[in-house]
Amino acid sequence: RRPSALLSSGRLEIPEYDGKDRVHALSAKNYKSVMKRYDVMVIYYHRNVDGSRSATKQFQIEELALELAAQVLDDLDDEDIGFGLVDEKKDSSVAKKLGLDEVESIYIFADNEIIEYDGELASDTLVEFLYDVIEEPVEIIDNERELKGFHNIDEVIKLVGYFKSEKSPHFIEFDDAAEEFHPFVKFFATFDPKIAKKLKLKMNEVDFYEPFMEEPDTIPGKPYIESELVEYIEQHDRPTLRKLEPHSMYEIWEDDINGEHIVAFAEEDDPDGYEFLEILKEVARENTNNPNLSIIWIDPDNFPLLVPYWERTFHIDLSEPQIGVVDVEDADSVWMEMDDQDDMPTADELERWVEDVLSGKIDPDDDDDDDEDDDDADDDEDDDDDDDDDEDDNDDDDEDDDEDDDDDDDDDDEDE
């Protein structure tokens, strides 16, 4: 169970570090015995920091985040969660045996599955993610309250199926598929015909819900085997509109389309942000079948430390909703012009802007051309300044020559 004393307004509060070492330094000698002690093992595969003061300091910050997460989870009753470190240089043999192949990544070993954590290395984010990991891969909907909770989840991919019982071979296939995507994709099931009727599900049928979409898609070909469900999810795992979450931010950012992302910033709790988000959802629903469209929604409230960086990099004000297209390589970007004194853009205006991005009419690489034009203009100004200086020098020389001639004339007069 999640310790309620640590939850305030739905957000996790991390206590101060108590000084107790809980994170293990894993080696070829001890890694097997350490891992046997825990139901879930969290391993940070880190760079070797010997000889670098700055890298050592950064690693100490990361290690403290792991220590705090371990401290919070120390009191968990039903699961023992361990934390360990593997040094890429000193413990390369351990990394090889455990299948750790990406340095500066966190791997979670749970129920014979290896889950790669692709989020920020922050203790609160990691703890929340681990709470999801230790939950069952499939959540059962038994009553109206749980059905309402299911409908309230709209920010992630979710599936729901109707089966005869937990012993049904079709449910077992569904459960096996859930383990493949746990905890990133949410799986639900019901054995209650009344609940199934409200979900418009037939026996052994599974519906797939894309984030922020009002209606699901029924997966064709029931009853299904695990591989069919896995294949369908993998073919539909890039939503038209998806939210950047702290626990999966790097994975989402790396999933670009032709080196670009359409990015929308909007605070859900802000009236303008909420209005803009609703318009975004409308555009996404109208274009859900376009495989080339995927908009990343970022709520700045979820990333307070990154807001100054984003504002500085993209030259935007995140106190207002923004949408732009970003080049993932060099962070060049173009942003839709929105006057904050006017109403939000309509769905049609936003859709036209998105179409211009997809057609290449709006391209962040054009920003490079603008920069070059600015440089050329600066060079021209410098050339003009140089020309002016040359003219001034020539004028001065002419004046000096005239003065010399006058002096010569005066001398001639005196001689006469």
Q: Say which CATH number the domain at 24 has.
A: 3.40.30.10
> Is 164 contained in some domain?
yes
Do 15 and 98 belong to one domain? yes
Do 18 and 128 belong to one domain? yes
Do 356 and 250 belong to one domain? yes
Which pTM value belongs to this model? 0.81
What's the pLDDT tens digit per position in 296-305? 999 999 999 9
> Is 371 contained in some domain?
no
Specify the pLDDT at position 9.
Answer: 34
Pick the last residue of a domain from 87, 105, 133: 133
Do 27 and 113 belong to one domain? yes
- Domain with 341 in it: 241-364
Specify the pLDDT at position 112.
Answer: 87
- What does the alpha-carbon distance between residue 121 and residue 104 come to, in Å, rounded to a whole number? 10
Do 261 and 204 belong to one domain? no
Do 360 and 383 belong to one domain? no
> Is 372 contained in some domain?
no
> Is 184 contained in some domain?
yes
Strand partners, 107: 43, 116
> Is 157 contained in some domain?
yes
Pick the last residue of a domain from 116, 133, 150: 133
Q: Kindly give, in sequence order, each residue whose CB lies less than 8 Å from that of residue 192, ignoring residues fewer than 6 positions away.
A: 141, 142, 143
Do 358 and 395 belong to one domain? no
CB 265 within 8 A of CB 314: no
Do 106 and 204 belong to one domain? no
Do 231 and 297 belong to one domain? no
- What does the alpha-carbon distance between residue 253 and residue 319 come to, in Å, rounded to a whole number? 22
Q: Kindly give, in sequence order, each residue whose CB lies less than 8 Å from that of residue 120, ignoring residues fewer than 6 positions away.
A: 246, 247, 249
> Is 397 contained in some domain?
yes
Specify the pLDDT at position 367.
Answer: 57
> Is 305 contained in some domain?
yes
Specify the pLDDT at position 414.
Answer: 42
Phi, psi of 10 (to 5 degrees): 80, -5
Q: What's the domain count of the chain?
A: 4
Do 175 and 292 belong to one domain? no
- What does the alpha-carbon distance between residue 15 and residue 411 come to, in Å, rounded to a whole number? 96
Give the containing element (helix H, strand E) for 188: strand 186-190
Do 146 and 124 belong to one domain? no
Do 294 and 395 belong to one domain? no
Residue numbers of the chain with a pLDDT score lower than 70: 1-11, 77-78, 339-342, 367-416
- What does the alpha-carbon distance between residue 415 and residue 413 come to, in Å, rounded to a whole number? 5
* The token pair that represents 156 in the structure block: 């992630």
Pick the last residue of a domain from 235, 256, 284: 235
What's the pLDDT tens digit per position in 257-288? 989 999 999 999 999 999 999 999 999 999 99
> Is 369 contained in some domain?
no
